[in-house]
Copies of this chain bind each other. A is one copy, B any other.
Amino acid sequence: MFVVRREGESRDEGTRRRRRPEEAERAILAAARSFLSEHPFREMKVESVMARTGLSRPAFYAYFKDRYELVTRLLEGIGGLLFAVDRRWLVGDPGMGREESAAVLRDALRGGAETFERYGSVLRAISDAASYDERVEEVYRFGLIERLTVAVAARIARDVEAGVSPPDLVPQETARALVFMTERYLIDAYGRPQGRRARDEILQTLERVWINTLYGGSC
């Protein structure tokens, strides 16, 4: 007799299935992503993630310390993306002048928005988890958001220095305000299963706030 088994299919009663550790870990991460695309972080119990893997709840703890470590692992890679898409503007030379600076910034914002469009549910989960757990807060708020803020502040400082942006701008504070706005606004737009709003209006609005603040008149 031959018994054909497909991936994830349960076996005859009373038998287990054994995977390579790396494979199980990836399965758990995938299960978490899948769960978060349907439910908010507050509903993510270890049990409900493991139900999507065919493994038991205790197996989870062989791979992750707790669900906070799990979401932290989901952030890996995504965080880097946010820097990557912004790099051209972040490290750019303000010598290019207002018009070109604004154009490059526009590209960076478009890239950021695309990242949120793709990974919105995970980013929303991390942002939520940051208020649940000190270590997630460390990684997200201080490791990612704050690092982005510092990079943006440095660029703003150079713009002020070059006379492209008005001199009464406080780079560190302005950067913080703009980064916070972008984070919250994009999570709101793309972080929920249901309500995805008009892409053009979202980008147009972000561009307007950033560009008028940095490259508008001193009014």
Q: List residues of A whose CB falls within 8 A of some B CB.
A: 40-42, 102, 127-128, 131-134, 168-170, 173-174, 176-178, 180-181, 183-185, 188, 197, 201-202, 204-206, 208-209, 211-213, 215-217, 219
Q: List 4 A-B pairs, minimum CB-CB distance, nearest first.
A: A181-B181, A216-B216, A128-B131, A180-B184
Q: Is the CB of B206 within 8 A of A212?
A: no
Q: Is the CB of B219 within 8 A of A205?
A: no
Q: Which residues of B contact A188 (CB under 8 A)?
A: 176, 180
Q: Which residues of B contact A185 (CB under 8 A)?
A: 176-177, 180-181
- Tally of this chain's copies: 2
Cα–Cα, bound, A132→B177 (Å): 25
Task: Name the CB-closest residue of B to A128.
Answer: B131
A-B contact pairs, 11 of them (CB 8 A): A131-B131, A168-B204, A174-B208, A174-B209, A176-B205, A181-B184, A208-B213, A212-B212, A212-B213, A212-B219, A216-B216
Q: Which residues of B contact A128 (CB under 8 A)?
A: 131
Using known A-B contacts A213-B208, A216-B217, A219-B211, determine if residue A132 contacts B42 with beta carbons closer than 8 Å: yes
Q: Is the CB of B42 within 8 A of A178?
A: no
Q: Is the CB of B41 within 8 A of A178?
A: no
Q: Is the CB of A181 within 8 A of B177?
A: yes
Additional A-B contacts beyond A42-B132, A212-B217 (14; CB < 8 A): A40-B131, A42-B131, A128-B131, A168-B208, A173-B202, A174-B209, A176-B205, A180-B181, A181-B181, A211-B219, A212-B212, A212-B216, A212-B219, A215-B219
